[in-house]
Amino acid sequence: MIRVGIIGGAGYTGGELLRILIHHPQAEVVFVHSRSQVDLPVTSVHTDLIGETELKFSDEMNLDIDLLFLCIGHGASASFLNENALPDTIKIIDLSQDFRLGDQAVYGLPELNKAAISKSRFVANPGCFATAIQLALLPLAYNGMLREIHLSGITGSTGAGVQPSASTHFSWRDSNISSYKVFTHQHMDEVGKSLQQLQPWFDKPINFVPYRGNFTRGILITAYQHCEWPLEEAINVYREYYEGHPFTWVSDAPIDVKQVVNTNKCVIHLEKHGSYLVVTSIIDNLLKGASGQAVQNMNLMFGLDEKLGLNLKASAF
């Protein structure tokens, strides 16, 4: 059994990790750390887990573990690791953005870095928008076909985290939509780094317009660029690239977010309009965009089937 600790277990990503790990056949959750919920049952926050776990939140760490998940805010992970010396025997998966751009950790996108993840002690889990965007574009980069890219994407309210704000308040979010961080979204740096890993000479703009949606979870990305391939060739290229990657699928039919909510899947659909290739990708921002992908990385780091514990069913209705 993989003995697991979670730092920051009261938030959305911590809750999703618990939902997966308490039923994972090769994982045991040793402790769930939270300064704000000390000694309270995990079910007092994650109420859907009633009857499934007796775990309580703790403000102490048990270092008799094999793996530590960091589910704390951006900037907090780097501070935590500076303040806490962990034995080299403990592997780390960080779900913040603190280590995605440096060389301290392996970037944890299995469809890009599966071999490196399998050998790593320290993995930086990708961002949610970054995951959906990269999975839409990696086959183009792999084949040296990236041009200037135009992207739009919409995400559910859980993408903003558990702490309430003016733009996540129900009265503002319901029956509403807005753009934000136009062309300046923080995930674009990691997207650019990954694309250049496959196409080093790529230096064109990545023009991204993100939107806040009036739903709770899920991401839909639409990307388009000039492409010389006929549609059939593009579809074959994408299917060939994702062969052997069990969570990413190319659909012949148009796609919608409900196909992937509550799963670790990414589904992609391709269309050709004149000289433009249009790529749509969908993921659950909390699973393939965060905690599900983190467990996928855990499986790879410990030599397990990467699908283990992630046989999740979408809520189609």
Residue 266 appears among annotated catalytic residues? no
Query: What distance in Å separates the CA atoms of residue 175 and residue 193, rounded to the nearest whole number?
Result: 36
**CB-based contacts of 47: which residues, under 8 Å, 6+ apart?**
none
Catalytic residue among 71, 128, 227, 266: 128
- Check if the beta carbon of residue 74 is closer than 8 Å to that of residue 125: no
Catalytic residue numbers read 128
